Amino acid sequence: MTLYSVIGAGVAGLSVATELAERGAQVQVFDPAGPPGPHGCSWWAGGMLAPWCEYENAEEPVLRFGQEAIGWWSKRTRVTKAGTLVVANKRDLPDMRRFARRTEGFTEVGREKVAALEPDLHGFGQGLFFEEEAHLDPRKALQDLYRGLVDRGVIFHKKIAPSGLENAIDCRGLSAREYLYDLRGVKGEMLIIRAPDVEITRPVRLLHPRIPLYIVPRGDGVYMLGATSIESEDSSRITARSMLELLSAAYALNPAFGEAEVLEIGVDLRPAFPDNLPRIRRLGRTIYANGLYRHGYLLAPALAKGVADLALHNIHSEMVDEDRA
Amino acid sequence: MGKSFYGVELPNPLMLGTAQYPSPAILEEAFRASGAGVATVSLRREGAGGAGQTFWQMIADLGVHVLPNTAGCHTVKEAVTTAHMAREVFDTKWIKLELIGHTDSLQPDVFQLVEAARILSEDGFEVFPYTTEDLIVGERLLEAGCEVLMPWGAPIGSGRGLNNIYALRAMRAEFPDVPLVVDAGIGLPSHAAAAMELGFDAVLLNTAVAKAGDPVAMAKAMMAAVEAGQMACDADPIEARDMAEASTPVIGKAFLS
């Protein structure tokens, strides 16, 4: 029986390994950093399964593939299906009209409905409600995939994959860029805050002329606040400006966020191809699966299916852009 | 025939920004499809140490003239530092000098602008100052060493078009030999065409294309508009008049029926 070696245990690698293992393939995983943790950029993700909201600024496959993600994840980790609420400050209402024009799958809601959905939102008279969207806790999702694989007998090697592996699947994100000439890093910054006095129950997006700001509840008064998107490949630190903008967004949603504790600061680089869509490439004995960009949890299921289709059945999904086996 | 910008003849009067596109692939296609000859690029954020490498390389690879800018700078010192960084990264003397003075309107701080323009010009930069339509400020910028002026049409990103046509026309008349670019505020091709009809030498815009539903189509529309406006300006348009003037002669027709 063929043994597949998945390299990298972030959201891409774990999803690919899961899809392969569930289809009956024999799989092992290599990651020198060990089980999922803060070393991978998917640890720092928002975990929104929001294909309709993302479609506002993304290509059509994001909408189509993204819709499969909610079902895929629901079978493997806890997914909260509470929708997404999009609001804007009064001065940015033209941006909300544009947002509405550029996507679908929402209802327009007024002051009363906004207040009914999220009583703790402060002073928003209009919004867009994307009822079908969902979210998950990315760290729990990674751990659930990891445990599921271990339960299936998949071996995790805490070391660098040996060179010359047969049937390797490289899911290392930006670390694979020496083999993927058109991969770049896009800096993202986020905060984890705790504000026990504020209760927000679903992801809320605050439209902003420059940054798509959002807040995702993680339970127990903990919120993820994200995320900048900067064409820079320096992931060493958050800038004061980014921190100010993220915190101002939370403050605009409810001034009580001013009292929040800042628990964590996350900075990392999202791997992205020029059109910001993921790719599967087979070069020699290795399949590369990469470029999830802002859409790690949203598009990892489709990426995993595409890799499994190629590896097991030689079926080329539309994500395969090059095959030089 | 357009004027030269610090000795460079541009292929056409469209300058496009490079921020806010859905992806670098769409950005590249917008340039390719429209044929815009100048790309502005912001260097301020997290630029030190060449960390923006891949994206900047993509801009350089567009094969157009790169006009780095000092977007987001609020002080002379910041702007001068950013300009030096830009000169190294893009190997160009061109700098679009932007010094923000007002938080809500992003109106330029023209006092600091003149000072920074003088410092940079003396240092060998070729400065493209983002300014208001104020004639005296324009004059001071020229004294400071600028050979191009870039007045706003409307506040950055507002898409409102030309807020003060009278003042822009006065600027054109005051500085007949200086290359003038309407920078900021353009929302529609008709705005861009109007700027060219006033006799401006180019139009610089970003948001109107990058945030359009179809940035590639909008970039092409903007190019068609600036070319139409320039052609119309060169064709010596008619004067507006208060009453109708029939285009067909009426002499010889019965008029007492």
pLDDT at B251 over 80: no
Which among A207, A255, A249 has a CA at the least distance from the CA of A224? A249
Question: Average pLDDT in the A242-261 region?
Answer: 91
Cβ–Cβ under 8 Å, residues A63 and A295: no
Mean pLDDT of A151-155: 95
On whether both A156 and A256 belong to a single domain, the answer is no
Q: What is the pLDDT of residues B75-125, one digit of tens each?
A: 999 999 999 988 988 889 999 999 999 888 889 999 999 999 999 999 999
- List, as one string, the DSSP characters of B142-204: HHTT-S-BEE-SSSTT-----S-HHHHHHHHHH-TTS-BEEES---SHHHHHHHHHTT-SEEE
More confident residue, A110 or B103: A110
Question: A275–B26: do the CB atoms touch at under 8 Å?
Answer: yes
Structure-token match 């001071």, residue found: B140
| pLDDT on residue B121 | 96
Strand partners, A262: A193
ipTM over 0.95: no
Given a cut of 60, whether residue B49 has pLDDT beyond it is no
**Among A272, A295, A315, where does a domain finish?**
A272
Q: For the purposes of burial, counting CB atoms within 10 Å of the CB of A120, is it exposed (0-12), middle (13-18) or buried (19 or more)?
A: middle
State the Cα–Cα distance between residues A100 and B209, nearest whole angstrom: 18
Whether residue A95 is found in the same domain as residue A221 = yes
Query: What pLDDT does residue A288 have?
Result: 97
Distance CA B84, CA B142 (A): 21
User: In b/e form, how buried is each residue of B200-234, taking b as 16+ CB within 10 angstroms?
Assistant: bbbbbbbbbbbbbeebbebbbbbbebbbbbbeebe
pLDDT at B47 over 60: no
**pLDDT confidence tier of residue B163, bands split at 50, 70 and 90:** very high
Burial class (CB in 10 A: 0-12, 13-18, 19+), A107: exposed
Q: By the 8 A CB rule, do A297 and A73 touch?
A: yes
B181, B216 in Cβ contact below 8 A? no
Q: How confident is the model at residue B249 (pLDDT cuts 50, 70, 90)?
A: low
| A160 and A201 part of one domain | no
The reply to whether B132 sits in an annotated binding site is no
Q: Does residue A144 share a domain with residue A68?
A: yes
CATH number of the CATH domain containing A280 = 3.50.50.60
Contact state of A232 with B22 under an 8 Å Cβ cutoff: no
CA–CA dist A45, A190 (Å, integer): 8
Q: Give the mean pLDDT of A114-142.
A: 94
For chain A, the average pLDDT equals 93
Residues of B in contact with A233 (CB under 8 A): 51-54
pLDDT at position B256 is 61
Q: Which residues pair with B202 in a beta bridge?
A: B181
* Residues A156 and A36 sit within 8 Å (Cβ to Cβ): no
State residue A255 phi and psi, 5-degree precision: -55, -20
Q: Give the Cα separation of A200 and A80 in Å (integer).
A: 13
CA dist., res. B44 & res. B85, Å (int):
9
Rg (CA), chain A: 20
Range(s) of the domain holding residue A1: 1-80+134-181+275-325
Counted domains in chain A: 2
Contacts of A274 in chain B (CB under 8 A): 23-25, 28, 58
Chain A neighbors of B213, CB-CB under 8 A = 101-102
Q: Tell me how many residue pairs between chain A and chain B have CB atoms under 8 A apart.
A: 55
Q: Residues A121, A232: one domain?
A: yes
Which CATH number belongs to the domain containing residue A236 in this structure?
A: 3.30.9.10
Q: Both A42 and A160 in a single domain?
A: yes
Which of B45, B53, B105, B216 is the best mutation test for A, with the most CBs of A within 10 A?
Answer: B45
Pairing of strands A286-290, A279-283: antiparallel
B-chain residues near A241 (CB < 8 A):
45
Q: Is the same domain home to A239 and A206?
A: yes
Within chain B, what is the greatest distance between any pair of CA atoms?
84
Rounded distance between C-alpha atoms, residue A163 and residue A14, angstroms? 20
From the list B25, B53, B58, the residue facing A233 with the nearest CB is B53
Count of residues making up chain A: 325
Residues A155 and A292 in one domain: yes
pLDDT digits (tens, 9 = 90+) for B192-239: 999 999 999 999 999 999 999 999 999 999 999 999 999 999 999 988
User: For an interface test with B, which of A234, A245, A294 has the most B Cβ atoms less than 10 Å from its Cβ?
Assistant: A234
- Output the DSSP codes for A35-98: SSSTTSGGGG---EE-HHHHHTTS-HHHHHHHHHHHHHHHTTS-EE---EEEEE-GGGHHHHHH
The distance of Cα B232 from the centroid of its chain, to the nearest Å, equals 19
Walk across the sheet containing A168-170 and list its strands.
Answer: A155-157, A26-30, A3-7, A168-170, A286-290, A279-283, A320-324
Element spanning A212, H or E: none
Last residue of a domain, one of A272, A291, A317: A272
What is d(CA A77, CA B10) in angstroms, rounded to the nearest whole number?
Answer: 57
Q: What is the pTM of this model?
A: 0.86
Let me know whether A196 and A247 are in one domain.
yes
User: What are the two backbone dihedrals, phi and then psi, of residue A247, each rounded to the nearest 5 degrees?
Assistant: -70, -35
CA neighbours within 13 Å on the CB side: how many for B112?
18
Strands ordered across the beta sheet of A107-110: A107-110, A126-130, A84-88, A204-207, A213-219, A222-226, A184-194, A261-272
| Distance of alpha carbon A86 from alpha carbon A128, whole angstroms | 5
Output the pLDDT for position B245.
Answer: 77
From B94's Cα to the closest Cα of chain A, the distance in A is 22
Confidence of residue A201 (pLDDT cuts 50, 70, 90): very high
A264 has pLDDT over 60? yes
Note whether A28 and A143 are same-domain residues.
yes
Q: What is the dihedral of CA A314, A319, A321, A323, to 10 degrees?
A: -20
For B51, which of A232, A274, A277 is closest by C-beta distance?
A: A232
Same domain for A176 and A252? no
Same domain, A17 and A6: yes
d(CA A289, CA A291): 7
φ, ψ of residue B96 in degrees (nearest 5): -85, 115
Q: State the DSSP H helix or E strand holding residue A147, giving kind and residue range, or none if neither.
A: helix A138-151
